[in-house]
Amino acid sequence: MSILFHTTFTNEKEWFDEIKKKFKKQKIYKISDKPDFKEIEFAIIWNLPNNILSKLENLKIIFSLGAGVDHILKLTSYNKTPIVRLNDPNMAIRMAYHVLSQILNYQLKLNIYQKAQHKKKWLSEIEPLFNNQIQVGILGLGYLGTFVGKYLKKLNYNVIGYKKSLARTNTTFPIYTKRSLDKFIKTSDIIVSILPFTDETTNLIDLNFLKKMKKESLLINVGRGESINEKELIKHMKSNYKFFVSLDVFKKEPLPKNHPFWKLPNVTITPHVASLSVINSAIKHIYKRLVHFQKSGKITSDVDLKKGY
């Protein structure tokens, strides 16, 4: 069995070394090894070049090194090979921690105190809200979104969710669909976008969407940068200084140094770190799915190609 490994992660060597340890009896190749691509049966990848995918004529399974799969679906050489994404509990926990940190930063007014600190200004007390006084809307209820929503509900936040359809929904909080999106937006004090990248979600969060949000609310995006119309978000932020944003993903990454986001006072920027893959548990997940395939000869793709995620 031959496996191709490729990633653009900065810790690529650490991933490769751990994969070799786990898959001791398998042949693990990188593109630089110049293998016979026709012999490759499995690919463990993130951002594989399109011209390489086109050479993998006998590929049986593609393992994505993350929850997102748009880096595969966008390739013109992709031909419906089953995709296994990382539904790793440790990734979900990291995502929940990140989202909670941004909520608390906003809820406890820590961002305001930090700005005052830079000016050496002692502010008077600002009484924070309790968790049960805040409604958090989870925009996108895939594996990560559902986990985050349940996590926040356990902490006594009022949680609602938005999902394209109610099919296969397993939550303990109210769900809104396309017909009730306006109500979802208008009643949320905080909106957490964990949307996938599809034609329907591209620029979904535009000026029309933003104007429906509460004036002093918080928007968190830990899904995909493509879901936000960045120009219209900047316009909205400039005219609503009490509207706060926390962005972990962007249309272009790394975020260019001349991007307006860097200079806006009501935005928190993090470099796509909200839900980093946990190497050990991720590799165990991949190994488990591969062993199951070897025993049964069957694999169910984690991706609905009609939906695009």
pLDDT of residue 168 exceeding 90, the answer is no
CA distances in angstroms from 176 to 92, 140, 171, listed in the order given: 22, 10, 12
For 264-297, write each residue's pLDDT tens digit. Answer: 999 999 999 999 999 999 999 999 999 999 999 9
Give the model's confidence band at 241: pLDDT under 50 very low, under 70 low, under 90 confident, else very high. very high
Q: Does domain 2-88+277-296 have CATH number 3.40.50.720?
A: yes
| pLDDT for the residue 166 | 78
What is the spatial distance between Cα 41 and Cα 59, in angstroms, rounded to a whole number?
4
For 12-24, write each residue's pLDDT tens digit. Answer: 999 999 999 999 9
What is the spatial distance between Cα 26 and Cα 57, in angstroms, rounded to a whole number?
19
Using an 8 Å Cβ cutoff, are 27 and 51 in contact?
Answer: no
pLDDT of residue 161 exceeding 80, the answer is yes
Q: What is the 3-state secondary structure (H, E, C) of 123-160?
A: CCCCCCCCHHHCEEEEECCCHHHHHHHHHHHHCCCEEE
Q: Given this chain, do its domains 2-88+277-296 and 89-269 carry the same CATH topology? A: yes
Question: Considering the chain, what percentage of its residues have pLDDT values greater than 90?
Answer: 93
User: What is the arithmetic mean of pLDDT over 215-235?
Assistant: 98
- Say what the pTM is: 0.95
Residue carrying the six token digits 């980093």: 276
| pLDDT for the residue 73 | 96
| pLDDT for the residue 167 | 67
For 72-126, write each residue's pLDDT tens digit. Answer: 999 999 999 999 999 889 999 999 999 999 999 999 999 999 999 999 999 999 9
User: What is the arithmetic mean of pLDDT over 223-234?
Assistant: 98
pLDDT of residue 254 exceeding 80, the answer is yes
What is the spatial distance between Cα 194 and Cα 92, in angstroms, rounded to a whole number?
11
| pLDDT for the residue 87 | 87
| pLDDT for the residue 214 | 98
Where exactly are the structural domains of the chain?
Answer: 2-88+277-296, 89-269
- Which of 247, 250, 209 lies closest to 226, judged by CA? 250
CATH superfamily of 89-269: NAD(P)-binding Rossmann-like Domain (3.40.50.720)
User: What is the arithmetic mean of pLDDT over 136-162?
Assistant: 97
Neighbour count for residue 258 (Cβ, 10 Å): 7
For residue 254, cis peptide bond before it (omega within 30 degrees of 0)? yes
